């Protein structure tokens, strides 16, 4: 079986019926096709680079350890592809002394979904989940945790018409925000998320946008205000109701 082409070849000497029962093991690298993990995987740099639209990475609860050596590494990188589904992954940064070690980085793609994943970063400036210049994404039932300084659990920029629901979000470093979004991220729904921060100036929500809805979330910040709009930005038509604080 050749993974890059999806071709399975049988060598036969007579006519009969044949079927493929084996599965190819998946390791860190470039993903051009849908894949299912059957074991834990590890990389000294970025683990998975998504390289095609309309594919699914199913981790089945196995662990992805990334960035054991190289700075600016990513657990799962999807830059430019649509209709990608990543689910049931445990993504853990493998070093803790580097910078910009993002757990999941998703940019310039639409209609992507990330569900039931657990992500933990330890280095400074290392956001757990980054969504950039994307529309109609679904982020549900994930656990996003960061330990480093200025490491946001969720960082959003130019994101529209997306759903963030049922996520468990926690940061403990100074300046590490639970949800940080800016630059006209509009018409998104944040529902039933639990956001907790313990570091100084670690706001649960630090935001800018138009027509976003915040429903039934719990915001808790030990050493900062729960919610802080970006300085100097005028909010328009934000809907905030049935949320709890503290």
Per-residue pLDDT tens digits for 194-227: 999 998 877 878 777 788 898 999 988 887 666 6
Alpha carbons 242 and 124: distance in angstroms, whole number: 33
Q: Which pLDDT does position 182 carry in this prediction?
A: 74
Percent of the chain with pLDDT over 70: 83
Q: Which pLDDT does position 7 carry in this prediction?
A: 44
How confident is the model over 18-35, as pLDDT tens digits? 444 444 568 999 999 999
How confident is the model over 49-75, as pLDDT tens digits? 999 999 999 999 999 999 989 899 999
Structure tokens, 94: 């493998």
pTM of the model: 0.86
How confident is the model over 105-158, as pLDDT tens digits? 999 999 999 999 999 999 999 999 999 999 999 999 999 999 999 999 999 999
Ramachandran class of 124: left when φ > 0, alpha when ψ lies in -120 to 50, beta otherwise:
beta
**Half-sphere exposure (CA, 13 Å, Cβ side) for 67?**
26
Alpha carbons 241 and 214: distance in angstroms, whole number: 6
Q: Which pLDDT does position 225 carry in this prediction?
A: 65
Structure tokens, 120: 């933990």
């Amino acid at each position: 079986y050749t993974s890059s082409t999806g071709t399975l070849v049988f060598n036969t000497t007579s006519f009969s019926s044949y079927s493929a029962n084996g599965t190819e093991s998946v390791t860190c690298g470039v993903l051009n096709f849908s894949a299912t993990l059957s074991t834990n995987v590890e990389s000294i740099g970025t683990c998975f680079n998504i390289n095609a639209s309309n594919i699914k990475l199913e981790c089945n609860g196995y662990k992805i350890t990334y960035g054991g050596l190289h700075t600016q590494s990513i657990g799962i990188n999807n830059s430019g592809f649509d209709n990608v589904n990543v689910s049931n992954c445990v993504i853990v940064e493998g070093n803790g002394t580097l910078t910009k070690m993002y757990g999941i980085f998703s940019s310039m793609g639409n209609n992507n979904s990330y569900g039931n994943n657990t992500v933990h970063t330890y280095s400074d400036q290392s956001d757990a989940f980054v969504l950039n210049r994307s529309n109609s994404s679904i982020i549900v039932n994930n656990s996003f945790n960061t330990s480093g300084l200025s490491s946001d659990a969720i960082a959003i920029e130019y994101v529209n018409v997306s759903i963030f629901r049922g996520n468990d979000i926690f940061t403990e470093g100074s300046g590490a925000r639970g949800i940080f979004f800016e630059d006209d991220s509009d018409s998104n729904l944040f529902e039933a998320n639990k956001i907790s921060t313990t570091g100084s100036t670690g706001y649960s929500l630090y935001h800018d946008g138009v027509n976003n809805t915040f429903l039934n979330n719990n915001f808790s910040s030990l050493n900062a205000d729960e919610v802080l709009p970006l300085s100097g930005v005028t909010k328009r038509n934000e809907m905030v109701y049935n949320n709890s604080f503290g």
